[in-house]
Chains A and B, each alone.
Chain A
Amino acid sequence: MTARKRYLRALVITATSLAVILMSTACFGSSNPQDTLAPRGPVAADEKGLFYPIFWIAVVVFFLVEGILVFAMYRFRHRQGTDVIPKQVHGNTRAEIAWTIAPTLLLALISIPTVATVYHLAPTKANNPLNVTVVGHQWWWEFQYPDLGVVTANELHIPTKRHINLVLNSIDVIHAFYVPQLAGQLDVVPGHNNEMYIEANNPGDYSGQCTQFCGTSHAFMRFRVVADQPGDFDSWVAAQKADPVAPGASTQAGARAFATGACIGCHTIKGVSQGKVGPDLTHFASRTTFAGSSLTNEAANVQKWIHDPQSVKPDAKMPNLHLSDDEIASLVTYLESLK
């Protein structure tokens, strides 16, 4: 009897603690930057809106079925010293029909909002959208604003409360565009122009990441979406369209090193070079991160990057140029001046 009681108590405790863990993680979400259950825009909110009802149905089914399983195991266990052949039941047509129909109905019920939301979230012609072309590179993101004449990298600026129409393309392999708090994933497939839209409710900084394995440094193909108030966004656009800051006394050496070095083969600085392999550096210093958003944009990090890009992002296209410390220092000063 006591063993039986202990058994029961252990069961109850396990079940309750499991339930508590489930509920707490499900209801409170977290403040983590890629939390899929903390949407900050209508698309992600619709996606989350589908998750929760199904999650709760699953929780009910879980406790029901697992409960019956554990109960059956306990209740019908062999008692020592007995020798009975249990009733040889081969089946029960009614029960089997019932437990075929019940899940079918439940799933049919779930499929209705599923299909409706699929069509609802399909890319549409909205009023006054902002068009952005997203180009995936191994391992960084290029963002082109075809209507505004702006090109930037790894940080996508958008105005709040506006329909942002994204056209996704890749110049090499398949990537995936994922900003969990704004929208779910869509693959960035070379030769395809996949379309999706996002919208941010409030100003903020939303973390994103490539989710389709794309080679060695897939882990470092991160990016950020920065949502600005429409006014702030307009001034950001104006700043990005401006010519780069002219070199002053302190940045002269770096500017010369850039313009006469290997840099120009791959990078664009408006009026200086037209390289297309790496990110556009015209307003490099206006970005808060670089190298696939894996480093914060500060002098020490840029210096580390130029010194040996492979040690930061293995197999990155940018080679180790074997520059002297002085050359690197002057390049860093110049790049950090390009607001």
Chain B
Amino acid sequence: MATLARPMPGVSQRPSRLTYLWSWITTVDHKRIGMLYLTTSMFFFLVGGSEALVLRIQLARPDQRLISADLYNSLFTMHATTMIFLVVMPMGAAFFNFMIPLMIGARDVAFPRLNALSYWIYLFGAILINTGWLTNAAPNDGWFGYANLTTLAYSPGHNQDYWFVGLQIVGLASLIASFNFIVTILNMRAPGMRLMRMPVFVWMSLVTNVLLALALPVITVALLELMFDRLFAANFFNVAKGGDPVLWQHLFWLFGHPEVYIMILPAMGIVSEVLPTFSRKPLFGYPVVVFSGVAIGVMSWGVWAHHMFTTGLGSTANSAFAVSTMLIAVPTGVKIFNWIATLWDGDIRLKTPLYFSIGFVAMFIIGGLSGVTHAVVPSDWEQHQTYYIVAHFHYVLFGGSIFGLFSGIYYWFPKMTGRLLSEKIGLWHFWLMLIGFNLTFGPFHLLGLDGMPRRIYTYAAGNGWGFWNGVSSDGAFIIAFSILLFLVNVARTMRKPADAGDDPWDGRTLEWTIPSPPPEYNFARIPVVQARDPLWHQKLLRRFSPLRADQAEVESEHGEEHIHMPAPSYYPFLTALGLPLMGYGLIYQSESKGLFALVVLGVVVILLGAYGWATEPS
């Protein structure tokens, strides 16, 4: 609307001609937001990985004191916080953003501006929590932040302020995004895309986002209580005043266990797309895989206390949660069998995305098996808070989520950029990462069984933990090298022409029916879906009964329409900007009450943003 030279009073403006940078800041295109999510989370993956490398250098030998205890504690806290909240969750969101509309045949998400808002909130929250490093106040009480250690009496610096403020902001981003994706999946599917015809990735995204919408309020309650304890002398966790630190553990893990599945389900969705594509067969037992995902989502609410087997909840609670934890292994196991059955009797094309998906399955089996041993409470008492646990969750989160996400990157990179990543470098990346991963985290099982506790910044030589720690540290550098290869691969590929074509993998789902990279409006014509895996269905028809294929083609050509795309907007960015202002005000208000003005300023910015948003012409 460049013709609106003078704005009508009380009506805010849509951006008109934009420079390169502004076009990104004001974008509401789900694909561009997806790219922003992907690159930002990849950046933080490098940050979190570098933090891990320093941890591994410190632990490589016994009795080392290369870094201080305090720095070590900050590093392990920020490594986990970064990897969970700033890498795996937003990288899942990157794929939700980019792929869900393409896979369900939509032109954008349901609320494009809300989508931009959630990205900017995530970015600002991520920056805020990391600026703790600059003020020598990086969070240092663990990503789990057990009260009462996090209260003012035991953590007097601003470290934990950065933590609870940062996590609340980042959590808000996920919460907003979750509603957006739930509505998008339920309401914006192309005609004929019934729920049970949805790609499994979309199904797993739906489950994940429902979990996010329900789980994030729980941790928000916990973080608010901590905030009130720290800033306003409330006593939720103050034992002397009748508070109870165990309250924190219940709230945190009631969020924390669904969170585990929030991190793994998107990767399971990716694998469920990649395996059928490359074995050229439908997913084995689609309804079973879908319902297993839903069952995992539901059951994830009933297992939180297995993180608390040593808290002293008593035999009854321990037994009940042991049994529920064993039960949740069943739908997970079922998925693994279905994936293997998908490969069975296929015509398997061994391409990089498939290697990463197979890597996911292979490593997830190990993580799943060690998970069962944790459910055996008395055995867990010996292993709880040792490296055995660290081994387990790296096998499911790195061996699982990260391998799955890389599979997604290799798989959809040609769709996102129009360019195929190099297979050769991709395979080097895969094998080095697989070897490095097992060298790094495999020995953790042995260290844990040898009684090495987590979160210790040094250990005595007499404990005999030196050898495997050395091996593990070497492995970490192999992982780092493999990631470097990946970056080289991306950099080299991006300089090549975009000639991947619409459908380089002989795909099955709707995103492969449109150009790569997709035009702004995605689908020139909204497709009419006649089967699960619509593109594959069409291909089979064309191959085996061309007559019916022609008929189907004609049917879907009905309904030429006007394409309406949402215009860019300044206001999501502006609105998000208010949150870090409020955050810094809260963190530093104890230094000077005048800093409350910053909180007020933040509120004003948010209100201004919301006003502009509400009065924007559509």
Contacts of A47 in B (CB 8 A): 378-379, 381-382
Measured CA separation A118–B309 after assembly (Å) = 10
Measured CA separation A6–B260 after assembly (Å) = 39
Contacts A86-B346, A114-B322 hold; do A217 and B69 have CB atoms under 8 A apart?
yes
A76 touches B284 (CB 8 A): no
Pick the contact of B347 from A84, A91, A294 — CB < 8 Å?
A: A84
Measured CA separation A8–B58 after assembly (Å) = 39
Measured CA separation A85–B276 after assembly (Å) = 12
Q: Does B244 contact A (CB under 8 A)?
A: yes
Scoring B residues 328 to 359 as 1 if CB is less than 8 Å from chain A, else 0, what string do you get? 01100110111011011111111000000010
Scoring A residues 180 to 216 as 1 if CB is less than 8 Å from chain B, else 0, what string do you get? 1001111101111011000000000001011111111
Closest residue of chain A to B375, judged by CB? A114
| Interface size range of chain A in the complex | 35 or more
Q: Does B218 contact A (CB under 8 A)?
A: no
Contacts of A76 in B (CB 8 A): 279, 343-348
Contacts of B337 in A (CB 8 A): 95-96, 99
Name A's interface SS: mixed
Contacts A46-B378, A100-B334 hold; do A36 and B384 have CB atoms under 8 A apart?
no
Q: Does B46 contact A (CB under 8 A)?
A: no
Q: Which of A36, A108, A186 has the most CB of B within 10 A?
A: A36
A191 touches B245 (CB 8 A): yes
Closest residue of chain A to B73, judged by CB? A216
Pick the contact of A37 from B349, B449, B459 — CB < 8 Å?
A: B449
Closest residue of chain B to A138, judged by CB? B154
Measured CA separation A218–B326 after assembly (Å) = 32
Contacts of B347 in A (CB 8 A): 76, 78, 82, 84-86
Scoring B residues 110 to 146 as 1 if CB is less than 8 Å from chain A, else 0, what string do you get? 0000000000000000000000000000000110001
A172 touches B310 (CB 8 A): no
A27 to chain B, nearest CB (A): 12
Measured CA separation A44–B141 after assembly (Å) = 30
Contacts A91-B285, A212-B146 hold; do A72 and B343 have CB atoms under 8 A apart?
yes
Q: Does A69 contact B (CB under 8 A)?
A: yes
Q: Does B282 contact A (CB under 8 A)?
A: yes
Contacts A90-B284, A215-B149 hold; do A192 and B246 have CB atoms under 8 A apart?
yes
Scoring A residues 69 to 83 as 1 if CB is less than 8 Å from chain B, else 0, what string do you get? 110110011100010
B382 touches A89 (CB 8 A): no
Q: Does A249 contact B (CB under 8 A)?
A: no
Measured CA separation A133–B366 after assembly (Å) = 40
B340 touches A68 (CB 8 A): yes
Number of B residues whose C-beta is below 8 Å from A?
92
Contacts of A32 in B (CB 8 A): 450-451, 463-465
Contacts A51-B379, A218-B456 hold; do A314 and B69 have CB atoms under 8 A apart?
yes
B378 touches A185 (CB 8 A): no
B288 touches A185 (CB 8 A): no
Q: Does A35 contact B (CB under 8 A)?
A: yes
A36 touches B451 (CB 8 A): yes
A213 touches B452 (CB 8 A): no
Q: Does B369 contact A (CB under 8 A)?
A: yes
B333 touches A103 (CB 8 A): yes
Contacts of B146 in A (CB 8 A): 173-174, 212-213
A119 touches B319 (CB 8 A): yes
A115 touches B322 (CB 8 A): yes
Q: Does B221 contact A (CB under 8 A)?
A: no
B344 touches A178 (CB 8 A): no
Q: Does B372 contact A (CB under 8 A)?
A: yes
A110 touches B345 (CB 8 A): no
Q: Does B567 contact A (CB under 8 A)?
A: no
Measured CA separation A191–B148 after assembly (Å) = 11
Closest residue of chain A to B248, judged by CB? A174
Measured CA separation A122–B322 after assembly (Å) = 15
Q: Which of A73, A138, A222, A315 has the most CB of B within 10 A?
A: A73
B151 to chain A, nearest CB (A): 9
Measured CA separation A219–B71 after assembly (Å) = 13
Measured CA separation A25–B445 after assembly (Å) = 10
Closest residue of chain A to B344, judged by CB? A72
Q: Does A176 contact B (CB under 8 A)?
A: yes
A153 to chain B, nearest CB (A): 18
Q: Does A333 contact B (CB under 8 A)?
A: no
Contacts A96-B285, A110-B372, A173-B154 hold; do A211 and B454 have CB atoms under 8 A apart?
yes
Contacts of B346 in A (CB 8 A): 76, 86
Measured CA separation A79–B183 after assembly (Å) = 44
A189 touches B281 (CB 8 A): no
Q: Does A161 contact B (CB under 8 A)?
A: no
A87 touches B377 (CB 8 A): no
Q: Does A48 contact B (CB under 8 A)?
A: yes
Apart from the given pairs A187-B310, A187-B311, 14 other A-B contacts in the complex at a CB distance below 8 Å: A36-B449, A58-B372, A62-B365, A76-B279, A86-B345, A89-B284, A92-B284, A96-B288, A100-B330, A118-B315, A118-B318, A173-B154, A189-B246, A212-B385
> Can you list 25 pairs linking A and B with CB atoms under 8 Å apart?
A33-B463, A36-B451, A37-B449, A51-B379, A69-B365, A76-B279, A77-B348, A85-B540, A86-B281, A86-B346, A87-B345, A88-B540, A90-B284, A96-B334, A110-B375, A111-B326, A114-B376, A118-B377, A119-B319, A176-B385, A178-B453, A180-B382, A184-B380, A209-B451, A218-B456
Which residues of B are interface residues toward A (Cβ below 8 A)? Answer: 68-70, 73, 141-142, 146, 148-149, 154, 239, 244-246, 279-282, 284-288, 310-312, 314-315, 318-319, 322-323, 326-327, 329-330, 333-334, 336-338, 340-341, 343-350, 358, 361-362, 365-366, 369-370, 372-373, 375-386, 446, 448-460, 462-465, 540, 543
